[in-house]
């Protein structure tokens, strides 16, 4: 006779009961049609790089050449980070710098308003012209007012929304202006950054209480407050959610008419959506530069074809 404990042990060893599911043989299976191919992605070897259903690319109206890079090279000690790059940067257009990590994109961007000079080992060769004038002939504060920078991580100051934007204006003034004097410019900058309607009821609110996307737009407003001619953006959406990214991209589309914009991005879809021209860099070299549609759909260089096609990155 088997005891209760032994009975339970035997039951645990037995396979579970079989459940039979009755299938109605008269029911027909549902057939799902394959998705329609993206006409943009299908035009060239960059099919893997362009999102299906991407928003139609909108060209900016070409304007005057605001900056010119002529044989620009940047080294850190004995390491060459940027190697003899020549590029035009035009008003009314967005130039997207793409390439794998460590290829020199951010170094090039930071060199445009001489931020690389803050690194003791950095050395620059070649020329950078702003409206035909060598940037080395400009006082660095004046240069950075005309060529403003928006960084990868939002960096609002620990002060109110109003004072964040007013800070840039007050730093330029010979005598610190009061709130009434800078208020019209603050409001204008917030409007241009697409943020004013969201914060207008409480401009005294601490900036650090804003969402990540709002903080980035606040930083853009702070950069716009001084009326720059060129706006540099170093992966401005990398820390943002898709909705905030879409808002920033829409803002870039609106600002392109009045500024020259240079954006560094690892997101090839973003480069396609916002860029008028694309510059592909690899190991410090400018491999290819051209209209966005040409670079993505019919790149001339094999390395560009490999990169936009997803072979490496």
| 3 falls within a domain | no
| 28 falls within a domain | no
| 84 falls within a domain | yes
How far is residue 59's CA from residue 90's CA, in Å, rounded to a whole number? 13
| CATH code, 77 | 3.40.50.300
Q: How confident is the model at residue 174 (pLDDT cuts 50, 70, 90)?
A: low
Ramachandran angles phi, psi of 38, nearest 5°: -70, 120
pTM, 2 dp: 0.80
Q: Which domain holds residue 265?
A: 43-155+227-308
Q: pLDDT digits over 106-125, tens only?
A: 999 999 999 999 999 999 99
| 185 falls within a domain | no
Ramachandran angles phi, psi of 297, nearest 5°: -90, -35
Strand 65-76 relative to strand 79-90, pairing: antiparallel
How far is residue 242's CA from residue 24's CA, in Å, rounded to a whole number? 44
Q: pLDDT digits over 207-262, tens only?
A: 999 999 999 999 999 999 999 999 999 999 998 999 999 999 999 999 988 899 99
The total of structural domains in the chain comes to 1
CB burial string 18-33: b at 16+ within 10 A, e below: eeeeeeeeeeeeeeee
Q: How confident is the model at residue 170 (pLDDT cuts 50, 70, 90)?
A: confident
| 57 falls within a domain | yes
| 118 falls within a domain | yes
How far is residue 206's CA from residue 96's CA, in Å, rounded to a whole number? 33
Percent of the chain with pLDDT strictly greater than 70: 79
Farthest-apart Cα atoms in the chain, separation: 103
DSSP structural state of residue 206: B
Contact between residue 153 and residue 218 where contact means Cβ atoms under 8 Å apart: no
| 34 falls within a domain | no
| 30 falls within a domain | no
């Amino acid at each position: 006779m088997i005891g209760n404990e032994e009975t339970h042990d035997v039951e645990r060893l037995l396979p579970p009961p079989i459940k039979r599911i009755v299938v109605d043989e008269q029911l027909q299976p549902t057939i799902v049609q394959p998705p329609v191919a993206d006409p943009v992605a299908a035009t060239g070897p960059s099919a893997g790089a362009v999102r299906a259903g991407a928003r139609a690319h909108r060209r900016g109206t070409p304007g005057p050449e605001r900056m010119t890079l002529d044989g620009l090279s940047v080294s850190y000690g004995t390491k060459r980070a940027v190697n003899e790059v020549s590029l035009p940067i035009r008003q009314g257009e967005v130039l997207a710098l793409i390439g794998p990590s460590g290829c020199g994109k951010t170094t090039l961007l930071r060199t445009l308003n001489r931020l690389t000079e803050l690194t003791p080992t950095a050395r620059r060769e070649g020329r950078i012209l702003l409206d035909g004038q060598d940037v080395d002939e400009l006082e660095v504060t004046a240069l950075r007012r005309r060529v403003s920078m928006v960084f990868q991580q939002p960096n609002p100051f620990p002060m109110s929304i109003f004072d964040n934007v007013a800070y840039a204006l007050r730093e330029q003034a010979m005598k610190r202006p009061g709130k009434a004097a800078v208020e019209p410019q603050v409001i204008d900058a917030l409007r241009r950054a697409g943020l004013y309607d969201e914060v207008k009821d409480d401009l005294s609110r601490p900036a650090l209480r804003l969402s990540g996307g709002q903080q980035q737009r606040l930083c853009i407003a702070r950069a716009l407050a001084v009326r720059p001619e060129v706006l540099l953006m170093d992966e401005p959406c990398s820390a943002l959610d898709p909705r905030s990214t879409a808002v920033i991209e829409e803002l870039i589309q609106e600002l392109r008419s009045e500024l020259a914009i240079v954006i560094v991005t690892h997101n090839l879809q973003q480069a396609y959506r916002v860029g008028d021209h694309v510059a592909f860099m690899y190991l410090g070299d400018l491999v290819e530069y051209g209209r966005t549609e040409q670079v993505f759909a019919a790149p001339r260089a094999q390395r560009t074809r490999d990169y936009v096609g997803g072979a490496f990155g």
